[in-house]
Structure 1
């Protein structure tokens, strides 16, 4: 049974006023205006391993100096647009129209143009630069252990790693790095909260679901696709930043438990292959009294054989309800 700290009347009025204005559906679906009364992600750095970040008025003051992996001496920016969109979803300031999930968090952009070895170096760099969350809206197209060195490094430094589960049409299963132990793999749902098998893959490794269909930003000439698990993962990374800002003393494992205990259970009761522990719920995660213990299932998730342990205990986990 979770204990919820009641929102103040002012917070509820602010939420109602903001929700009445036209905005992205996912902001209303996740009740972000109410969540922002509790946390805006201040003081949390999010490592963004992606295609870089271009200048955007909604990101003024949000982006820290970045690095390239490998460093090819190319001009700073984002020729593809994918990384910029993820940055907006995570930490957009709302100056010109896009307010991200954690509008006071900071982005550490690692522009990735190489393969898994470069991604490993990028994750380690982000951790060393003070990231408390690392977003990996990318995938290898299959399963590999090549990311494990970086993921272990992040775990050893108390960093939450969030990754896109994989996109339908490109992937057949949850791909690496999302399938690796200790990573929060995120699937995509639409505006009705329904898992979309034409957008997202499913699998026992899925940890959470988040909006990932028709997720546009105010960026002119947006180049990135508007549907996919990349967007869903960015949204969850933003929620992690909110929780880490509100509860700075929680470990990465305890943050994971906080999200799981408060997620909105959808699909089959308990954890399932489409929604994981459920639809991420920022307001509940920020309102519930934290459990400062570390449950056995989190230890299993974060262990070297975490995927195998979870697979063996899948029936037991399905009985657990938030």
Structure 2
């Protein structure tokens, strides 16, 4: 048994790939889909040089409209090192699943990198990492186990205020319902779920949970916006694309590539949208992200880009028709209920009111009968 790792489920040993080293970490069926390569820095300032996605995605303009204030992103990953200068005041108290007594600190670096890409504060102009949503909060759920723990982690971050969940992990297989309990719970609570589609080095197609209904599966493109088949998988479940090739952060100055990074950037954009439009349902946030994406070569959806490369400015400014259901489908069975603008079901309140009314009428009838005796 690997030190610091609890009992694991049966099956092949999964791993996070980081800096070229394969590190055993989580139980069978759960693999982070990010691979780091030792790429030489392009300049004396590799971190800032690697943040080409800021210009590529037009984030300077997007930040004039939203910086993610008030939004919490649940990060189910390897934990987060909250003491980094770029994460000052960005990370909420987290938890590990299952609890092994180590807390949510990140020994692998993967989760910390995702946190920086999503909500890095950019502590100075020279070498700080500025995330997509630099005023959002990260709620880390450190994953030590397998599918059951992923479900528990998703439920926990949802219960503790996350309205966006980032899953830069995958099972290595497709169309498995192993994570449906957590995904369904998130959908029932009006949460946007973003997941890495999978890496071509280890996966043959879009893996679960990215391929599940309602989940924003993200593929990776390079700094020119071109899909990179040697990096990212493709498949009909891909919903969006985002930069995921040769990215650097203050936590990992060596350039990394993978759909983990791409998913983190999309989670940050989802936070920008939720902050600017706090009354939008998760379904309408997804509709904004997919409906405004920049589709290379024309309109429509394909297996490499999905609906296109995520466009933060478009998602924050475009006139997007409202929808009443997630355009990517859902694991939640549709019922004859109404959903308010906040995404919370109305029927429980209506039902409660009817019950209270019936009780009141019964009391009145009873009292009248008593007084008539």
Taking structure 1 as the reference length, the TM-score comes to 0.84
Give the one of 51, 57, 61 matched to 2:78. 51
Partner of 2:322: 292
> CA 1:200 to 1:267, structure 2 compared with 1: closer, same or farther past 3 Å?
farther
Cα distance change, pair 113–267 in 1 and its aligned pair in 2 (3 A): farther
> Partners of 2:157 and 2:266 in 1: how far apart?
18
RMSD: 1.9
Contact 2:287 2:323 survives alignment (8 Å): no
Structure 1 contact 206–276 (Cα < 8 Å) conserved: yes
Question: Which residue in 2 is equivalent to 1:262?
Answer: 292
Deviation at 1:304, TM superposition (A): 5.8
Q: Determine whether 1:33 maps to 2:60.
A: yes
In the alignment, structure 1 residue 193 sits paired with structure 2 residue 225: yes
Choose the corresponding residue for 1:168, options 182, 191, 200.
200
Q: When the two structures are superposed, what TM-score results if normalisation uses the length of structure 2?
A: 0.73
Matched position secondary structure for 1:204: coil
Q: Following the alignment from structure 1 to structure 2, what is the Cα–Cα distance between the partners of residues 174 and 243?
A: 25
2:154 equivalent in structure 1: 123
Give the structure with the larger helix fraction. Answer: 1
SS in 1 for 2:170: coil
Contact 1:82 1:223 (C-alpha < 8 Å) held by counterparts = no
Q: Post-superposition shift, 1:268?
A: 6.2
Matched residue of 1:301: which SS? coil
Report the secondary structure of 1:61's partner residue: coil
Do 2:148 and 2:178's aligned partners in 1 also have CA atoms closer than 8 Å? yes
Structure 2: runs of 5 or more not aligned: 1-47, 335-373
Match of 1:98 among 129, 132, 138: 129
**Residue of structure 1 equivalent to 2:186:** 154
Distance across 1 between alignment mates of 2:253 and 2:211: 27
- Paired with 2:212 and 2:180, the residues of 1 have a C-alpha distance of 7
Q: Distance in 2 between matches of 1:24 and 1:76?
A: 26
Q: Does 1:132 align with 2:163?
A: yes
Deviation at residue 24 of structure 1 after TM alignment: 1.4
**How much does 1:290 deviate?**
4.0
Mapped partners of 1:305, 1:206: distance in 2: 22
How many positions carry a matched residue from both structures? 282
Task: Tell me: CA distance 1:157–1:266, structure 2 relative to 1, closer, same or farther (3 Å).
Answer: same
